[in-house]
């Protein structure tokens, strides 16, 4: 079985491997939906169909020694960074083969071997943590970067403003990536946020900022590479707004009936999977036949992953105490 590190190297190799990882994320998320409906996923789950180009573009540019903070909508980022589908699905299904031994669930993915700090259910929580990681790198004189991926709704949270302010004044090597998928839970952005171009908020912090087409992996790679290069060289933080769209509802059974008619269809025309397919066909790297083969083979791969995870054991009750840190007398003194 491929390791997270090997999978990370794969996605850095070439465009075909990047396309394949995007297909993996899409198929994976579609199947989670079905598993949830079948009662095999407990709690909640938040899917990221439509946001694959951002996840894979990001993973293909970063080093495994950089750290990434993502959200409860983080399956795609975890898979893109290299976590195996078994470890992500195992975690979602609460099984011992999950990346956190099945005690975290869908919103808590982590694997430090590829730089994924735990994903968080708290909106905006990753922003100051990424700034903190960047402060650690700066203090140690290491040219690694911290990256926070968060939603449009998170840009209205206090932690966003505190995190950006601190990062700007201390010139921390951190990249703030706002995944503007147009919705925060069941609210369309114009009902919660007085501006449309969220990257403009960085003006208040005298921080470089720009938006990019989050449906196009090459635009993601170019934009993220520019910000990462600046951060590695001591040039400080950047706020990037990736314009994407959430193809699914907010979570689990949400049918997203509140969307204006025709909006989803309009965005589906720019489905990141299709955008990448068209680019790779135009470059002669893929054909319609090879695409169909890849899709069919990905279905089989994910079916096997599901069978493995269904058969995997559940954690023992005691395992919820296994990773709890308790201060000892020695650490208090």
Ligand X SMILES: Cc1ncc(C[n+]2csc(CCOP(=O)(O)OP(=O)(O)O)c2C)c(N)n1
Of residues 170-229, those binding Mg ion (CB under 5 A): 181, 184
What sign has the CA pseudo-torsion 262, 256, 126, 84? negative
Which residue has the closest beta carbon to ligand X? 151
Binding mask 26-65 for Mg ion (x = CB under 5 A): ----------------------------------------
Q: Which residues in this chain contact ligand X in the complex, by CB under 6 A? A: 71, 73, 121-123, 150-154, 181, 183-185, 246
| For Mg ion, the closer CB: 97 or 181 | 181
Which residue has the closest beta carbon to Mg ion? 151
Cβ at position 58, least distance to ligand X in Å: 15
| For ligand X, the closer CB: 46 or 209 | 46
Cβ at position 251, least distance to ligand X in Å: 8
Q: Is residue 71 a contact point for Mg ion (CB under 5 A)?
A: no
Cβ at position 152, least distance to ligand X in Å: 4
User: What is the size of the binding site for Mg ion (CB under 5 A)?
Assistant: 4
Q: Is residue 241 a contact point for Mg ion (CB under 5 A)?
A: no
What is the distance between the alpha carbons of residues 114 and 1, in angstroms, rounded to a whole number? 16
Please select the residue that binds Mg ion; options are 50, 74, 151, 223, rule is CB under 5 A: 151
Give backbone dihedrals phi and psi of 193, rounded to 5 degrees, phi first: -135, 125
Site residues for Mg ion per CB under 5 A: 151-152, 181, 184
């Amino acid at each position: 079985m491929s390791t997270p590190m090997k999978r990370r190297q794969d996605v850095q190799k070439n465009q075909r491997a990047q396309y394949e990882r995007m297909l993996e994320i899409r198929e994976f998320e579609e199947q989670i939906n079905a598993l949830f409906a079948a009662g095999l996923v407990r709690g909640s789950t938040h899917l990221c169909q439509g946001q694959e180009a951002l996840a894979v573009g990001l993973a293909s540019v970063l080093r495994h020694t950089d750290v990434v903070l993502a959200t409860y909508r983080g399956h795609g980022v975890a898979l893109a960074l290299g976590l195996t589908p078994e470890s992500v699905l195992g975690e979602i299904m609460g099984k011992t083969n999950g990346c956190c031994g099945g005690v975290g669930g869908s919103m808590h993915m982590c694997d430090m071997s590829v730089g994924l700090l735990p994903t968080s259910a708290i909106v905006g929580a990753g922003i100051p943590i990424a700034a903190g990681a960047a402060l650690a790198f700066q203090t140690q004189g290491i040219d690694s970067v911290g990256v926070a991926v968060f939603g449009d709704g998170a840009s209205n949270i206090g932690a966003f403003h505190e995190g950006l302010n601190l990062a700007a004044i201390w010139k921390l090597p951190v990249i703030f990536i706002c995944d503007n998928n147009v919705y925060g839970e069941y609210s369309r952005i114009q009902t919660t946020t007085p501006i449309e171009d969220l990257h403009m908020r960085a003006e208040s912090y005298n921080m470089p900022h720009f938006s990019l087409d989050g449906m196009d992996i090459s635009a993601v790679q170019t934009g993220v590479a520019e910000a990462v290069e600046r951060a590695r060289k001591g040039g400080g933080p950047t706020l990037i707004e990736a314009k994407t769209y959430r193809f699914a509802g907010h979570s689990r059974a949400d049918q997203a009936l509140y969307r204006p008619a025709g909006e989803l269809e309009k965005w589906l025309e720019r489905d990141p999977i299709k955008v990448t397919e068209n680019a790779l066909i135009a470059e002669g790297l893929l054909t319609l036949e090879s695409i169909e083969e890849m899709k069919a083979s990905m279905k089989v791969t994910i079916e096997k992953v599901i069978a493995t995870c269904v058969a995997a054991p559940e954690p023992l009750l005691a395992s919820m105490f296994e990773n709890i840190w308790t201060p000892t007398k020695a650490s208090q003194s």
